[in-house]
Amino acid sequence: MTNEFVLEAITREFPEAVLGSSEPYDFLTIEIRKEDLKKVIHYLKDSSLEINFLTDICGIHFPENKEKELGVIYHLHNMKTNFRIRLKTFMPKKNAEVESLTDLYSGANWMERETFDFFGIKFSGHPDLRTILNDPELGYHPLLKEYHLEDESRTDKDDAMFGR
């Protein structure tokens, strides 16, 4: 199974879904429309491609690009042929929601909760979408690039002592 073969199969089955593709380090990476993401992943799993292992789900934040501010990245794997693929989808922050994959992959449960916890991306259809690692009283999503890395109110720290 090659990158070209898989990309051609997805493009043939879902001609409007693929927004772009690349192969960094020979790792097929495809940007998929948010509306088509679950259909594409379902196809990859249940077709003859047999990409049936969900390795990872994670979020990403690009605050400078308001139309594609938040993204979800999926890593999938065919264990028989050792073929791996990365799927990406992006959305504005105010509409940050994608369909849950918990009905396709039970392992998606924890990964989707973690992504929600850290980035605020909702997964519609998730059976128990709530905070999993952070304090439920936290009130914000800490991996969004909206917060300073250091407490600016501290006066006991001299930046000259830290090489700044």
DSSP output for 104-158: T-TTHHHHHHHHHHHH--EEET-TT-S-SSS-TT--S-TTSTTS-SS-TT--S--
Dmax (CA) for the chain in angstroms is: 62
Bridge partners of 21, per DSSP, are: 30
Number of helices (H), then strands (E), in the chain: 3, 7
Query: CA–CA separation, 77 vs 54, rounded Å?
Result: 6
What is residue 63's predicted lDDT score, i.e. its pLDDT? 94
Cα separation values, 117 from 23, 99, 107, Å: 30, 16, 16
What is residue 117's predicted lDDT score, i.e. its pLDDT? 95
What is residue 81's predicted lDDT score, i.e. its pLDDT? 95
The pLDDT tens digits along the chain (164 residues) read 899 999 999 999 999 999 999 999 999 999 999 999 999 999 999 999 999 999 999 999 999 999 999 999 999 999 999 999 999 999 999 989 999 999 999 999 999 999 999 999 999 999 999 999 988 888 888 899 887 766 666 677 666 766 65
> Tokens for 82?
């050792």
Considering the segment(s) 3-149 as one domain, its CATH architecture is 2-Layer Sandwich (3.30)
What is residue 162's predicted lDDT score, i.e. its pLDDT? 66
Residues 71 and 49 sit within 8 Å (Cβ to Cβ): no
